[in-house]
Structure formats: C-alpha cells, structure tokens
Chain A
C-alpha cells in the first residue's frame, strides 16, 4: 500500500498543528461557532446528538495492520471502546470530546492517518473498488489513480469552499463495485482501441433528496490529462453551482440544470484553456505511486489443497462461508475474504477495539498485513492462501466476523440514524437489527440469494437507500417514524434509482413488509434468477399487490 514520504507526513503534521490552534481559538471565543464550523468539518468533526463525532479518512479503504491497531487504541482511549466503519470506507468514532481532538489527531498522524476532508464542502476522501489489485476482471489497480487524486484534492487552494460536498469514486474494472455512477465524479479505468489505458468520466451522480445517476461526459480521457480535466469540472462547479439552497447545491443539480451536453461543453471549453499550461500529472509521479501497489510476494501456485477440500466436506458451515464470503482472486491458490460486520441482530459496521486488534492479527498472519474497508460496511482480507482459509474461518468465528451473509438479505447498509445523528428523522439501526433477526436462518438467506437492503434515517440518504434492491427511508410524520420502501435500486454498472412503491409503514410493520417482498420475489423468480433481475423482469406491480393487500 502507499506509504508517506516526508512531504506527505509534513502536510499531515502541519494540519494537526493548525487544527490544534483552531480548536484553541474556538475555545477562547476568538473563532465563532459559525467560523469554526467549516474548519472542523474539514477535519471530519461533527457535532451529533450526544457528542462530537470524528470521521477518520481511510483513503480508498486501505488500512495497514499498524493503522488498524492504532484505531483500536483510539477507540479505547478517546471513545467507548468501539468504532463504526462507514459507507465511504472510513471509520467514525461517536463519543469524542472537542478538547481531546488535537491529541487524537496527533496520535493518528503517527500512523499516516487524519480526518482531512472527511466532511465539509470540499473534495472528500476518494473511494475505490474494495477488490482493487486482486479482482480477476480488473484492467488496472484503481488505487494508483485514487492516490493521485488524494494528493491533488488535499487542501486544494481553489476547491476547498465548494457549494457542497464532493465525492469521487474509482473503479479499475468493468464490474463496478465502487458505485461510481452514484458519485459527483465517477472514474472508470478503460482500455482504448489501441490498448492504451485511459479514464471514462461520469459526473453528477448523487443520492440525497434528488437521486441521480451520473452522466457519462467523456468516454475516454488520456491519463496525463486527468488532473486538468478534474480541475475543469471543479472550476465549472465552483463558479456556477448553486449556493443559495443547500438542497440544490450538489453538482448533479448543475448538470441537470444545464443539461449534460451543455455542462460537458463548458467543461471541455475550460479544459481547452487549462491544458495549454503543460502537463500536470507527471508520468514519473504515476510511476512512483504505482510502485507502492505492486503485487505482494505470492507463493508459487500449488496443487489444490487437500486439507481445504476435506475441511469443506467435513464442515458444511465452513463450506457455506467459503461459498458466500470468499471471492475469487487473480492468483491461483489465493482468495479474497469478506469479514462480515453484520452479525445477526448487530449494528452494521460496528467493531470493538478487540475485534479490530483481532483483525489486525489475522491480516498480519494471513494477508500481507493489509485490511480493506468496503462501502457495504464490511472488511476484507484480500490476499489469503486457500490453504489458510479454514484456520482463518475458525479465528473469524471467534471474533464474530464470520457470519456467512455477505451480499445476502442481512448484509444491510444502515446509517447511524436517530440513535446518533442530528440530521436523522427516524431510527435506522433498530430496523436493520430486526430485519436481520427475522432472517436469522442462514440457510433461508442463502436460498433467497443476493439481495441488498439499504436503510437511511433521513432524506440525506447516507444509508444509500436509493441504490438498494430494497431501500428503506425513515421519515417523520407528525412525530411518528414512518418507513417508505423503494424497489429496484442498484449501485453496480447497471446503476438505477429505486422506485417508491407507495405509502410508508410504521416501525412495527416494516419488517413484515420486507418479508412479504422477499416472499413475493420467491414466488415470481425463475430458477437461478436473483432478486434485482426478477424485479426488473416483472416490475413493481406484483410486489405492490402483495404489500398493500388488505391495507
């Protein structure tokens, strides 16, 4: 993975010192809360219902063992012994005291970590495919360009006070596991006609109260033009994005208002000027960064491991886990393993300090010392030898991260909701827990097959409900929590916006409704047809009929 040089380290140290000074000035009253707000947000610090929440950047979801152990230490030292992995591949701590934040950031800086631009109206921490570097369908490792973007976007002098937040995601593969079309800018590495690699650029995707799938504005961009092109997009947005209404300030509204053609024309016009100024993405810098992502020293592919096959045969639970939570790897004899942070009845994405340390130990022993965070709020050990899978499974079972439900009905994304968040209008976590408990039978989940449920506790859609095969949005109706259901959303390369099926349901009813929807799918599906495909074939009508029968 990427390692800081002196320059990267200096920048983070200087930021830590600067924020210490800003906190001091806030505490003495030299800075008003209004002035302090954008400054603290740009360091990932929110004021929530009960305390400050600090969001720590995990660039493109990659963590070293050392960093994971430091997060565990921070959970104990500054929080209540646990942390929460987020849909943007970050981690957040929910019980932080403002006075302690400078010390916390100083601790983080010792392991090349920080809260820079994890919030605020700036370019946020860049996200990428969690199978980067190991996926069989990958054209190029998306972490290379992600790291280039991380550096370019860090303290950008022109683009740190944008109309609204700005999220960039990168995939290096045609099968999109990074939801790039749902981002303000989505980047896909592609191969041109002559085999030359470049980027496909989507702009204006986003969730919130106006869900929009991004527009393809450039099918192929030469590599050395990436930063200039990004600057052109950002400049058009910074100058012309709306600043009078925060609900209309995202770039998606500008793209829609101008129309994708006119927006593209303005970007290309800006680019034609900017590109005259030389080359911004040095080939030698790309080469320097690329070196950090050379594959680890894989063992020579061996014969099929007899003990592994034997273990599967003897232990059906292990076999099921392999089938559901273990993914193909580009190297024969290796596998990528998803650690499910969705135990039945648990809080999606939560991990205790002990669990973090346990994962760090396992990563050290079995996966070249590296852990990934997924936007589905799970963790990944990306480079595990097939021969080690059984031992790993046993250890993960002890830790509590071996639930064989990855991609299934209880692998739910949920925002913190009304249990923590000051913006929320309804609870998300308890709904997620109850759905998970209702489907606690893993055989039943397995039979239902791939199904993504995503829950947001307010219209801001942090729980990605618009992109859920089943989306649940909690709203407040005259003091009562009401849950609206959408169907047919998707976050992959077939990205689509979920459609509202009708009036909402009470917290008491919503789990029954989900079960009805799943039951309807089981009735209509053809052999081997997954939920989203069946929905796309039959449409919303059969689901509506069942759900609203007798209502």
Chain B
C-alpha cells in the first residue's frame, strides 16, 4: 500500500513480517510487539532496521527499552473513530523522546491528517483509494491553533503574547 507524508508519496522499504515469517537478513522489517519483546536480540542483529506495529491500547512504557533502536513505529487505527493513536503519538514523542518515523495505518481519513501530524506522526500508510489531495488540503486547512502538541508549532497563545515582557519557561520542552 502507498506510503505518504505531508508532501505526498514517499519511498517505503519496510516489510511487515507476520510472526511466523523468519526475518530476512539485511532487510527493514516491521514486527509485532510480542515478537519484538521475545526476539529483539536476533532481530536487531540480523535486520538492517527494525520497526514495530502497535495498536491504540499499547503499553507505551513497555516499548521504552527498544525505542532508541527502532527505525519505525506504526500505530494502527481500529476504526477512524479510534482516538487512541493520537495519545500514543504524543506519548512517544513528548514523553519517550522517540525521534524516528511514526506512521499511522488503518481506516483513518485524510481529514484527520493535521491532528496526526500535530501529535507527532510523520507518515501515513494508506489504501490505494486514499485521496492525497484531500490530505494535503486537510493539512493546509488551518494556519493557527490553540494547543501545544508534539509538533511544537507556535500556538495562538505564543503568537498573542510573543511581545509580552514577562519571561516564561513554557517552551522548555524543546
């Protein structure tokens, strides 16, 4: 399936491995959380890059030991109404300092792309019928927002008060 980022299609060299399929030496592979936990030594030794696919109820804390070595985290939406991936994204980025590719997959729609980006996602694994034009429009739909989030973009509050004399420590996350 095509993989896109905020600008359109991107190269994708990752192979999703079912738990029963052995890892291919030198490949970039995406495995389940269970497999990552039980086989991480051999996976990291053999594959050129390792990623993991998680669902919304993932114990993000349990992923912590592996995060510095992972090249991709894929978060799966159960349905488009499944809001848990947004929290998973922010936790991975803001609490666990995960810095590599964070990818959404499942039946989300283009109109959710801006929120996903704001929650730290960087790529989208989409169906063939997925409208990349709609995704780009959705991302461009808003020029300002009220909340601080994983993208660390300036908020309305920052813009309103940028000239205020009062020093604050509110951006000490970055």
Contacts and interface: CB of A to CB of B under 8 A. Distances in A.
A163 B157 contact: no
B82 A161 contact: yes
A535 B80 CA distance: 48
Contact of A157 (B78, B82, B86, B168): B86
A214 to B, nearest CB: 22
Contacts of B161: 282, 284-285, 288
B85 to A, nearest CB: 9
A39 B111 contact: yes
A295 to B, nearest CB: 24
Interface in B75-108: 78, 80-84, 86-87, 90, 94-95
Contacts of B144: 7, 10-11
Interface string B5-36: 00000000000000000000000000000000
Interface string A4-19: 0101101100110110
B149 A157 contact: yes
Contact of A155 (B80, B142, B148, B160): B142
Contacts, number: 118
Interface in B100-156: 109, 111-112, 114-115, 118-119, 131, 134, 137-138, 141-149, 156
A220 interface: no
A545 B119 CA distance: 59
A279 B170 contact: yes
Interface string A513-543: 0000000000000000000000000000000
A397 B48 CA distance: 81
Interface string A251-291: 00000000000000000000001000111101111001000
Nearest to B173: A277
B166 interface: yes
B169 A279 contact: yes
A448 to B, nearest CB: 46
B170 A238 contact: no
User: Which of the listed residues B82, B112, B147 has the most CB atoms from chain A within 10 Å of its own CB?
Assistant: B147
A282 B166 CA distance: 10
A238 B146 contact: no
User: Interface residues of B toward A: which range?
Assistant: 35 or more
Nearest to B116: A157
Nearest to A34: B80
Contact of B115 (A15, A160, A239, A283): A160
A52 to B, nearest CB: 19
B150 to A, nearest CB: 8
B159 interface: yes
Given A157-B118, A160-B115, A238 B159 contact: no
Contacts of A38: 80-81
User: Which of the listed residues B144, B156, B164 has the most CB atoms from chain A within 10 Å of its own CB?
Assistant: B156
Contacts of A49: none
User: Interface residues of A toward B: which range?
Assistant: 35 or more
User: Which of the listed residues B87, B118, B161, B169 has the most CB atoms from chain A within 10 Å of its own CB?
Assistant: B87
Contacts of B147: 152, 155-158
B171 interface: yes
Interface in A115-144: 121
Contact of A282 (B119, B141, B170): B170
A30 B137 CA distance: 14
B143 A159 contact: no
Given A5-B160, A25-B134, A285-B161, A14 B141 contact: yes
Contact of A154 (B56, B83, B141, B146): B146
A30 B129 CA distance: 10
A279 B141 contact: no
Given A157-B118, A279-B169, A273 B142 contact: no
A25 B56 CA distance: 28
B111 A22 contact: yes
Contacts of B80: 35, 38, 161
B41 interface: no
Contacts of A151: 146, 156
Contacts of B112: 161
B38 interface: no
Contact of A158 (B57, B119, B131, B172): B119
A11 B146 CA distance: 9
A395 to B, nearest CB: 40
Contact of B145 (A155, A235, A238): A155
A238 B173 contact: no
Contact of B134 (A30, A158, A243): A30
A36 to B, nearest CB: 9
A392 to B, nearest CB: 38
Contacts of A39: 111
A238 B168 contact: no
Given A160-B115, A280-B148, A282-B157, A14 B143 contact: yes
B159 to A, nearest CB: 7
Leading 6 A-B pairs by shortest Cβ distance: A161-B83, A157-B118, A157-B115, A278-B170, A18-B141, A7-B156
7 contacts: A7-B144, A38-B81, A152-B146, A157-B118, A238-B87, A279-B169, A282-B168
Given A11-B145, A18-B138, A157-B119, 20 more contacts: A7-B159, A10-B144, A11-B144, A17-B141, A18-B142, A21-B137, A39-B111, A155-B146, A157-B115, A157-B149, A158-B83, A160-B86, A235-B87, A238-B86, A239-B57, A273-B95, A278-B171, A280-B148, A285-B160, A288-B161
